[in-house]
Amino acid sequence: MKLTEKEERMLKGDMGRGVQCAMEVLVKMGELYGAEEFVEVKNAHIDAAAYTTIWDAGTEFVEFLVENGARVAVPTTINPMSVDRRNWRNLGTSEEFAAKCDRLENAYMKLGVNPTWTCAPYQCTNVPMFGESVAWSESNAVDYVNSVVGARTERLPDLVDVCCAVAGRVPKYGRYLDENRKGELLFELEGFDDAWFQDNVDYAVLGYLAGEIAINRVPVIKGLPQRTTQDNLKSFSAAAASGGAVSLFHVVGITPEAPTLEAALQGTTDYETIKITPDRMREMRRRLNTGDKEQVDMVLTGCPHLSVDEIGQIAKEIEGKKVCEGTDFWIQTSHPIYELAKMAGYVDVLEGAGAVLVRDSCLMEMEYNGMWTGKHFVTNSGKAAQYAPAINSVKITMADLKGCVKAAVTGKVPEEV
Ligand code: F3S
């Protein structure tokens, strides 16, 4: 790789062993991907926050960087940790595990991250500008920031994200390059009336389907309604990045690199077209639904972390009702969004109804202790539908937001599923 004078000095150790180590990792990675140079980034988002993803070895690596003088070089947000620090005892986390999470959290605080602890940093503080290069990991956030914001990042691996934050740069490869941002296959929506795409769950199912087919290609979606919101695209992003490995998509007439189909495809005429019909969506949803009983043990929302608007919608739906005994209702978000929801009066309504607001963490990143094995979850998240069965050995039924609230209140699968 061709390095600038400053990069040579970083690599030589002039800025300390921590920065040098980060640069050694990044140069190796750049060579691996055939990058010719680095690109400076304006900000970073670290995925490697959960103890369950990087364990002791990852913790030691972050501590090593800190002890050797490294600090983040650009504003850096961070993903959920493996523990809700305000309520971990009630959520089944052991003392020993919580202590390990504390150790990792302390290391990151010393490194200088903004303690957002969320997988949706774009609804908190970290909103890049169109065209800007950033160094993000966390698959939903990568997909969202590339596609909905039009900033540029690759799907960076855990701990490489930390090195990028410390070095303030990333090897220029993949989605940082214009030619790797063009649409590669077209999903054409056909036969949907206005009842469709009113709720995030349809975006999650469509995202999962697109991800499964596209794998790591760039899908272009044509036919989504103009009323599509950021929260809808958040659901789509998360599902597309877990149904496959999508890191960039375009929605014609909605996302910034797709004002037209031609723009999304960068003029290419050689592409595959896939028709998406209501029947195909129903079939995908049936495949995601693995639940085989009427009783619901857990309603899980907030994968990715909920926005204040989404929390408000749940509060409105559940006001005056109570969560059924024997059913848990988790609402996962970050503490900044929790504080907004508290000020808006939503938290009192939700907690009064018996829902649990999980802050700065999520079930799939928490200590695995088998307490959910074999349980039946209802969720509106395509990502949770993929991860929770794999990580927590649970069965899933997908529902829209109203259906989730109904399931929480009755303890039963909502009728419309
Ligand atoms: Fe976020 Fe956890 Fe889902 S990190 S995207 S809530 S698996």
Q: Give nearest CA residue, ligand 1 atom 1.
A: 304
From ligand 1's centre to the CA of 16, what distance in Å? Answer: 34
The string of DSSP letters for 77-124 reads EE---SS-TTTGGGGT--HHHHHHHHHHHHHHHHHT------S-GGGT
Which residue owns the Cα nearest ligand 1 atom 2?
A: 362
Reported confidence tier of residue 96, pLDDT bands at 50, 70, 90: very high
pLDDT at 417: 62
Residue 120 near ligand 1, beta carbon < 6 Å: no
Residue 176 has pLDDT above 70, yes or no: yes
Cα 289 to Cα 278: distance, rounded to the nearest angstrom: 16
Residue-wise pLDDT for 15-30, tens only, equals 999 999 999 999 999 9
Count of Cβ atoms closer than 10 Å to residue 2 Cβ: 9
Residue 333 Cβ < 6 Å to ligand 1: no
List, for residues 231-278, the tens digit of each pLDDT value.
999 999 999 999 999 999 999 999 999 999 999 999 999 999 999 999
Distance 364 CA to ligand 1 centre (A): 7
Ligand 1: residue whose CA is nearest its atom 5: 304
**Contact assessment for residue 388 and residue 394, using Cβ atoms and an 8 Å cutoff:** yes
Q: Say how many C-beta atoms besides its own lie within 10 A of residue 334's C-beta.
A: 28
Ligand 1 atom closest to 363 (CA): 2
Say yes or no: CB of residue 238 within 6 Å of ligand 1.
yes
pLDDT-based confidence at residue 281 (cuts at 50, 70, 90): very high
pLDDT for residue 307 = 98
DSSP labels, 118-185: -S-GGGTT----TT-B-EE-SHHHHHHIIIII--B---PPTTHHHHHHHHTEEE--GGGSGGGGS--E
Q: Which two tokens stand for residue 9?
A: 């000095």
Query: Does the Cβ of 365 fall within 6 Å of ligand 1?
Result: yes
Q: Which of 84, 364, 394 to mutate to test the pocket of ligand 1 (most atoms within 8 A of CB)?
A: 364
Res. 416: pLDDT tops 80: no
Cα gap 281→68, rounded to integer Å: 52
Q: What is the Å distance from ligand 1's center to 207 Cα?
A: 16
Going by alpha carbons, the residue nearest to atom 7 of ligand 1 is 364
pLDDT digits (tens, 9 = 90+) for 297-335: 999 999 999 999 999 999 999 999 999 999 999 999 999
Tokens read off for 122: 């774009």
Please give the Cα distance from 330 to 363 (Å, whole number): 9
Distance 242 CA to ligand 1 centre (A): 11
Give me the sheet containing 272-276, strands edge to edge: 250-251, 219-222, 185-189, 272-276
* 332 ligand 1 Cβ < 6 A: yes
User: Counting atoms of ligand 1 from 1, which one is nearest the CA of 120?
Assistant: 1
Res 415: pLDDT: 83
The ligand 1 atom nearest the CA atom of 364: 7
Q: Does any ligand 1 atom lie closer than 6 A to the CB of residue 357?
A: no
Condensed to tens digits (0 to 9), the pLDDT of residues 101-151 reads 999 999 999 999 999 999 999 998 889 999 999 999 999 999 999 999 999
Of ligand 1's listed atoms, the one at least distance from the Cα of 140 is 5
Chain center to CA of 93: 23
Whether the pLDDT of residue 353 is over 80: the answer is yes
Report how far ligand 1's centroid is from the alpha carbon of 303 (Å): 5
Return the pLDDT at 183: 98
* Confidence class for position 48, pLDDT limits 50, 70, 90: very high
Decide: pTM greater than 0.95.
Answer: yes
Residue among 142, 331, 383, 396 whose CB has most ligand 1 atoms within 8 A, to mutate: 383
**Ligand 1 closest atom vs CA 383:** 3
What's the mean pLDDT when you consider all of the chain?
97
